[in-house]
Amino acid sequence: MSIYLDFEEPIKALEEQIAKAKEIGQEAELDMTDKIKALEKKLSEKTTEIFSNLTPWQRVQLSRHPDRPYTLAYINAISQGTFQELHGDRSVKDDKAMVGGFGSLDGQTVMFIGQQKGMNTKMRQYRNFGMPNPEGYRKALRLMKLAEKFNKPIVTFIDTPGAFPGLEAEERGQGEAIARNIYEMMGLKVPVICIIIGEGASGGALGIGVGDKVLMLENTWYSVISPESCSSILWRSWDFKEKAAEALKLTSEDMKKLKLVDGVIKEPAMGAHRNPEEAFSIVKSEIKKHINALSKIDAEKRCEARIEKFCKMGVVK
């Protein structure tokens, strides 16, 4: 059973009608082909109608869809089982909300890094809901430096509701860990590709989000704050999340328009979770395309261009 979001209810109703029609057809040995065809046509029209007019808030809902593939699913599919996870920040512990390691992308070794969310309640807790502690960021940086040393490109998958705001996280310098990553990623001598596959919340996302190419999957969001928190701070109520989502211009389309990300990756119809295999293959070919192009550029020039790109961001008068 798929999980439907509130705005997908009309789709759910039609899909149920089709299933029922098929059932009746089989049981009563009736020819329901025309009826089913008509319903399927209606379904595809309705789907197009809903998905071509998604509001920013609906994109946020899709980005958090419980069936949506998470980082390890992408890595395992893309590396075709060659991924070897590497653990620990060599200082405090191994953060389960951040994963990483080498894997082979059709013969080319790549360093894959990303925030990891859990698939069920137990795993969600184990993964701390995809909210890394400073150790997570420091592990990510250690792995990036490892990739740099052996001249391997880096791909990061971003999917986090934010860096963890806990007591120990503060004691161990959450701010410093994120700052250090942003700073060091600017100077990495290997190609860096960052892909937002779900939620891109603020500094917690940017902590692994500095790259030559920063790409967003179609149904994701990336901003300085979640729409809920923005609503609670600026409107002093949790009820304005839809409005906040709109005001923040956090969708892939808006972020591309503002030149804050380099590209948008199309998702399968109705979202990546509806056809994960297709999503993996689209993302894989994007990664290959960009690694190929970036590898042709001289390392120094690539770094300069990366720094230049971020230096241009911002609008003043």
Partner 1 sequence: MGWFKRKTEGITTSTKDKKETPEGLWYKCPKCKTVVTTEDHEKNGYVCERCSYHERIGSEEYFQMIFDEGKYKEFDAKLASADPLKFEDTKKYVDRVKATQSQTGLVDAIRTAHGKIDGQDLVIAAMDFAFIGGSLGSVMGEKIARAIDQAIKLKCPFMIISKSGGARMMEAGLSLMQMAKTSAKLNQLSAAQLPYISFLTDPTTGGVTASFAMLGDINIAEPEALIAFAGPRVVKETIGRDLPDGFQKSEFVLEHGFLDYIVERSKLKEELSKSIKLFMN
Stretch that binds partner 1, among 82-90, 141-149, 151-159, 243-251 (CB under 8 A): 243-251
* C-beta neighbour count of 125 within 10 angstroms: 11
Q: How far apart are CA 118 and CA 97, in angstroms?
A: 9
Cβ within 8 Å of residue 231, ≥6 positions away: 237, 238, 239, 240, 241, 243, 244
Helix axis angle for 174-186 and 299-311, nearest 10°, is 130
Stretch that binds partner 1, among 117-125, 144-152, 245-253, 275-283 (CB under 8 A): 245-253
CB of 168 to partner 1, least distance (A): 9
Q: Could you say whether residue 110 binds partner 1 (CB under 8 A)?
A: no
Q: Could you say whether residue 248 binds partner 1 (CB under 8 A)?
A: yes
Stretch that binds partner 1, among 10-18, 104-112, 234-242, 265-273 (CB under 8 A): 234-242
Q: Could you say whether residue 172 binds partner 1 (CB under 8 A)?
A: yes
Angle at 292 between CA 288 and CA 295, to 5 degrees: 135
- Token pair, residue 135, equals 């150790």
Q: Could you say whether residue 129 binds partner 1 (CB under 8 A)?
A: no
Q: How far apart are CA 72 and CA 79, in angstroms?
A: 10
The dihedral through the CA atoms of 222, 199, 162, 70 has a sign that is negative
Q: Could you say whether residue 174 binds partner 1 (CB under 8 A)?
A: yes
Q: Could you say whether residue 244 binds partner 1 (CB under 8 A)?
A: yes
Binding site for partner 1 (CB under 8 A): 163-167, 169-176, 178-180, 182-183, 186-187, 202-203, 206-207, 209-210, 222-225, 230, 233-235, 240, 243-244, 247-250, 254-255, 258, 260, 306-307, 310-311, 313-317
